[in-house]
Amino acid sequence: MTSTNKNESANVVVFGATGDLSIRKLFPSLFQLFLNHSLADDLRIVAVVRAELTVETFAQRIAESCLKRTQDRSQFDAFVKKIDCVRMDIGNVETFAALRSMLSDTVRSIFYFSVSPSLYGAITAGLKQHGCINTDSRVVVEKPIGHNLETATQISNELSKSFDESQIFRIDHYLGKETVQNIMALRFGNAVLEPLWCAERIQSMQITVAEDIGVVNRGPYYDHTGALRDMVQNHLLQLLCVMAMEPPGQLNPASVRDEKLKVLRSLRAIQPSDVVTKTVRGQYVASPDRKASKNYLQEVGVDPCSQTETFVAVKAEIDNWRWAGMPVYMRTGKELPSRASEIVIQFKDVPHKLFKHTASHLLANRLVISLQPEESIKLYLNAKTPGRGMTLQPVALNLDLINSSPMRRWDAYERLILDVIQGDLTLFMRETDVLAAWNWIDPIVQGWIEHMPNPEPYEAGTWGPVAADQLLAKDGFIWHNPGRYINDMH
């Protein structure tokens, strides 16, 4: 869906250019696209900054991140020549005049909002008032889009005053990962899996996004947001959509996003009274086994009486013909044992255990999809070990090209930024997707307020509260811990 051909000219305007996301991801990705000759020669980048800043000083700020993949300083210097800096006060609409003077009416403008969603309305109003927006303009917005259904609707309304839906690119970088693309190729490019891709053949699905650090310097943001809004509402639900969607009629943005929306609308509602049995919320505390760990309540910028969750586990169910009766377990958290994102499909066991009297310990077949720290897709089957007798053990079949292909692996932001420039909306969320996700999330939040106001503490370096294990245990399952294939069959 993404081409590496040279693109049309554009002005890429980055609001929040000195922020963490811009320095770590956006500018390094733009630099890599420049190295790949994927940007038009006359493409310009406008860095919107709050304080007076020269291009030379700005280049010093982004140099370390940009030069991690290549030490070719001459190429970096050539890339910097594409960058202009403009000082603006977003709260003062008159300062948008300086930006307008830098934009050409003959070149498409792409506005990247790498700022708090609370500023989207002010930026959009300022751009519109000074004539920066036209029918060719595009805007990119980051998650979380809103704090609940009401605020997400408000943000959508603010954006729609100046941009058509086809001009709005709601980015979720998980959807730009190579392995997520490979899931679609695996599912819809091969006939062998389709008969197995249903509740009749699959026993359960697990989605884990784990971080091995705390909130670090994001205390004020995280304390306002929490794990459910920060991760489940977007990343985890979008991964679920890719795994559970029906084959689209065509590989185009409308068809793909239509099928993903059907999954969100098929999720069984978790009513406030259900949260005690279907969700778990936790908050990390310091552990003597993990150096430098501290209580969440001791983090900088966190309310010392905060009830914000840093861990959440949810049992979800999809009410449609393909998936009815199959549980989906999702979990995410901070200060867990390792940084990892994995999707695990556990197939149902063989109907008759032919090898039960041997020394074998058969495991249910599994498809393990790893998104980070390394990307891979492995199908675990049982095979005979060499030698006398029928002793079986699980072996992994590698189903992706990441390790075998000589081609360089693209970063998610590289792919998504190029998609924006080319106008490909396939990997971006629509307004209806965002609102459907919030419609499912909001009752959980309300249920926590009414029935589970206090998150359960868990020690840093563990896999979350004990209740997370119990959530699966009552259904006869245990969590598949990322990074290793363990004996955790149903």
Residue 461 sits at φ, ψ, to 5 deg, of 90, 0
- H or E segment at 261? helix 253-266
Report which residue type is found at 437.
A
- Cβ atoms 136, 164 nearer than 8 A: no
> Which residue among 130, 235, 352, 480 is the active-site one?
235
Distance CA 314, CA 330 (A): 5
Q: How far apart are CA 309 and CA 229, in angstroms?
A: 10
- CA distances (Å), 275 to each of 66, 227, 312, 316, 471, in order? 44, 15, 11, 11, 11
Token pair of 248, please? Answer: 């689209």
357 annotated active-site: no
Q: How far apart are CA 444 and CA 131, in angstroms?
A: 42
Instruction: State how beta strands 366-372 and 340-347 pair.
Output: antiparallel
* Whether the Cβ atoms of residue 456 and residue 468 lie closer than 8 Å to each other: no
Whether residue 433 contacts residue 262, with contact meaning beta carbons closer than 8 Å, is answered with no
| Secondary structure letter of residue 450 according to DSSP | H
| Residue given tokens 């959509």 in the structure block | 241
Cβ-based burial of 35 (10 A; exposed 0-12, middle 13-18, buried ≥19): middle
Residues with active-site annotation? 235
